[in-house]
Amino acid sequence: MRVSVFGLGYVGCVTAARLAEAGHKVVGVDLNDQKVAMINSGVSPIVEPGLEELLGRVKAAGHLRATSSCEEAVAASDVALICVGTPSQANGRMSAEALARVCRGIGNVLGATRKPYTVVVRSTVMPGTTAEVVMPALRAGIGNGERPDVKVAVNPEFMREGTALRDFQSPPFTLVGCEDKATSWQLRELYEKVDAQFVQTSVRTAEMLKYASNAFHALKVCFANEIGDLCEATRVDAREVMRVFCLDHKLNLSDAYLKPGFAFGGSCLPKDIRALNQVARAADVDTPVLSTLLPANVARIRAAAATVLATHKRRVGVVGLAFK
């Protein structure tokens, strides 16, 4: 398959190299002429174990080259993977400036040709970005008239610095958000050599899932650190606690309790969270994650009650009166 990769940063370089290794004809695109020159010399512009050797091999095999020309890249490809950055603005809001600029450029080229084309957003973007930024930017570049032959999809990456090559080849799953089967099959073919389950979902779900994953990963780090601090304060081996904790794949490391719904209850969870927080206060241990659990749970109950009361109905049915 002929592929262009826009943005030769961390995600773009690894993506381009791995796809070229899989036999695809790949063109990397970046406004930074130094990055382009390094790729064309088989040299990695980023530090990642094994990447420079891989770039050298795929460059020598003729499967990868780089350019700063959007027109050249689109002409030489049938699929574009957009891997540009979406940094935080001063107020924390995601910046889609680079993403919009790339999409307008691709649209300008497509406006002068009738070739079928697929634009895939690999950058991390908030839900609604594809509909509100990507597609309008493409249309603005293309000009007047509908182009059903131009497809759009979202394909988040799940790579970590230091293990990115391995993570690309063996991700938790290959996630694609798109609205038509043809695009899904095209991307299934693109990633056929990747060792992972192929999951197709909606565009907005794919956009949100990357943020949900990253938020959960951050939560796990903070949770483990707070448990570690509590263990130290109570003279317990924190690493042994978490080692045994991770042996539980039924409740701890599983999909248990990970379904959106109502608050937690019962006699155990509220009591034990209160006890942990009391120990933390007594030991002068800061636990911002654990200390928000009970207030967050109360907020959930209040929100549910407010939803019911807002109906102004006098008869209320409660389905399910189980212990928890």
For tokens 């959007």, what's the residue?
A: 70
Q: How many CB atoms are located within 10 Å of the residue 19 CB?
A: 25
C-beta separation of 258 from 212 below 8 A: no
Tell me, yes or no, if 268 is annotated catalytic: yes
**Residue 233, Cβ density class (10 Å: 0-12 exposed, 13-18 middle, ≥19 buried):** middle
Tokens of 30: 């970046």
CB atoms within 10 A of CB 124: 18
β-bridge pairing 117-121 and 64-67: unpaired
Do residues 186 and 79 make contact, with C-beta atoms less than 8 angstroms apart? Answer: yes
Question: E strands within the chain?
Answer: 2-6, 25-29, 64-67, 79-82, 117-121, 150-154, 174-177, 198-201
**Residue 176: closest CA among 105, 79, 258, 87:** 79
Q: Quick one: which of 6, 23, 3, 123 has its CA closest to 67?
A: 6
Q: Exposed, middle or buried: residue 178 (CB in 10 Å: 0-12, 13-18, 19+)?
A: buried
Q: What span, in angstroms and rounded, lies between the C-alpha atoms of 85 and 95?
A: 8
Whole-angstrom Cα distance, residue 203 to residue 280?
42
- Cα separation, 215 vs 119, in Å, equals 26
* Calpha distance 255→268 (Å, rounded): 20
Given 222, 231, 246, 268, which residue is catalytic? Answer: 268
Catalytic residue list:
268
